[in-house]
Amino acid sequence: MIETAILAAFLAFCRIGACFMLMPGLGSARLPVQVRLFVAIAASLALLAHLWGAIVPHVSRQPQAMFVLIGSEVLIGALIGLVARFYVLALQFIGSAMAMMVGFGMAGGGVAVEENELQPELAALISFSALLLLFVFDFHHAVIQALVASYELAPVDGLFDPQAALVDLSDTLSQAFLVMIRLGSPFVAYAILVNLAVGFINKLTPQIPIYFISLPFVIAGGLLLLYFGIATFLRLFVDGFLPTTIGG
């Protein structure tokens, strides 16, 4: 009985831990590995009692069968974490594009919130604000609910379906980038109009470096646009999380 309980807990940890490893926020590279590991173990043990009937009947003491179940559980959990992470990665992409459109792309890069890589300060600010709002609105609770519900949609003995997983990932990518392009469309229009105007002025006075003179005004206009639009931007981002990812 003890061996069965240990194997069941390990199977639960495979799915839940893989999801926590890749989900935004808890899977951040800036969060210590020990913290992520202990949170995944605590969540696995806490959910084991609720998932006992869905896991224990499929536990096998044969090594080959267990290896297949472990690999399947890790892939299913990674899929749930990836669909949530793709949505945040799409936000980081549009944030970097917005920073470039308003003239901040030439500034020195800061450290990204999710990864240890360079990212424009404006994009890092947008990513941090959006991620903070997701935690404020308990998106991590929705991810845990999706993990619990996944044992009905993808039971332990059902194994991992690569074709369905690729369909889910591609649909999430397309919908996430469609949402982000809509959110960033005012900045795209602003960049087109400003650069078109600067280009016309530069043709009229080729002796004056209009681009470098106009750059502070372009940045000021972009920040003003961000000031008036950031509340709506973040609200629509949070509203689109569940329909685009685990709720879709």
Q: Which residues fall within 8 angstroms of residue 234, CB to CB, at 6 or more apart?
A: 129, 130, 133
Q: What is the pLDDT of residues 82-114, one digit of tens each?
A: 998 899 889 988 988 888 888 776 555 666 677
Confidence (pLDDT) at 108: 54
| CA-closest candidate to residue 122, choices 138, 152, 100, 90 | 100
Q: What is the mean pLDDT of residues 66-91?
A: 89
Q: What is the pLDDT of residues 21-63, one digit of tens each?
A: 888 888 777 788 888 888 888 988 888 888 888 888 888 778 8
Give the 3-state secondary structure of 19-70: HHHHCCCCCCCCCCHHHHHHHHHHHHHHHHHHHHHHHHHHCCCCHHHHHHHH
For the chain, what percent of residues have pLDDT higher than 70?
95
Q: Which pTM value belongs to this model?
A: 0.84
Report the sign of the C-alpha dihedral through residues 45, 47, 53, 55, in that order.
negative
Q: How far apart are the first and last CA of the chain?
A: 39
Q: What is the pLDDT of residues 224-233, one digit of tens each?
A: 998 998 999 9
Confidence (pLDDT) at 109: 62
